[in-house]
Structure 1
Amino acid sequence: MNHPVDAHVGRKIREVRLLRGMTQADVAAKLGLSFQQLQKYETGHNRVSASKLYEIARLLDVGPNVFFEGLDGADAGAGDLIDDRTARAAQALASIADEKVKARLRSMIHEIASREAAAGQG
C-alpha cells in the first residue's frame, strides 16, 4: 500500500515531466533508471529517496519543494495538478522550435484567459 505523500510526489513528478515535454524513457535514461522504475515513482508505488528526488528536480529544472506543493492544502490553489489534455498542450507548445511563434501563442493564451476571467467577474 502506497503512502499518500508518495503518491502526491509521484503525481507532481509526472506533471512537471509532462510540462517539460519529456517522456518517462527520457527522464529515466538521464537518471540511470529503467522507465518502469520512474513509472513506479510517478504512481507512488515506490518511494523516491531524497537524493533521487534532488536529481529529478535538477533534471526538470525545478526546486525540490515543487513536488510537495499542495500537499497540506494550504497552497492547493498554486499546486493543483493539471489534467492530461493541458499537459499535452503544454508539451506541444514546448516542442515548437520557433521562439517567436511560441511567444505569440503564449500571448494569445494569456489574452484569452484574462478575457475569460474578466467576463466571469462581470
Structure 2
Amino acid sequence: MSKTSFSRKRGSALRFSDKDRERLNGISDEKAEAQALADPDNPPLTEGQLSRMALAREVRLVREKTGLSQPQFAARYHIGLARLRDFEQARSEPDFVVRVFLRMILEDPNKAHRLVKLVESEANAS
C-alpha cells in the first residue's frame, strides 16, 4: 500500500513554491493550451463530459452541505449508495426526478428528511 499522504484539505488553495509560481506565470495562455492539446494522456473534454462533471460536483456539494458521508446520505434519503457514488464520480447522471430531489435537499435538508420519513411510514402502513 502506498505511504503517500496529503496535507492539503479538500477545497483549499494549492500552494506553489516561488520558483514554480514564477515558471507557471511565465507561460502564455496560448502555450499552455498548445501543451495541453499535445498531451496524449490529457485529451480535451467534450461539452457533454464537462456538463457531467459539473453535475457530479453539484451532487457532491449537496451531500457535503448536509455534513453526511456517502453511506449516511444514501441511507437517509433512500438513494442507492452505488448510484450516489456513480453520480459523484460522473459515471452516470441523475435523472430529472433525482435532480429535483437533490435540489430540495439542498434548499431544506430537514424538510426533505421529514418527507422521506412520512412516505416511508405510509409505505409501511400499507
Question: Does the TM-score normalized on the shorter chain lie above 0.5?
Answer: no
Give the structure-1-normalised TM-score.
Answer: 0.43
Higher helix fraction (1 or 2): 1
Answer 1 or 2: higher relative contact order, Cα 8 Å, separation at least 6.
1
Give the structure-2-normalised TM-score.
Answer: 0.42
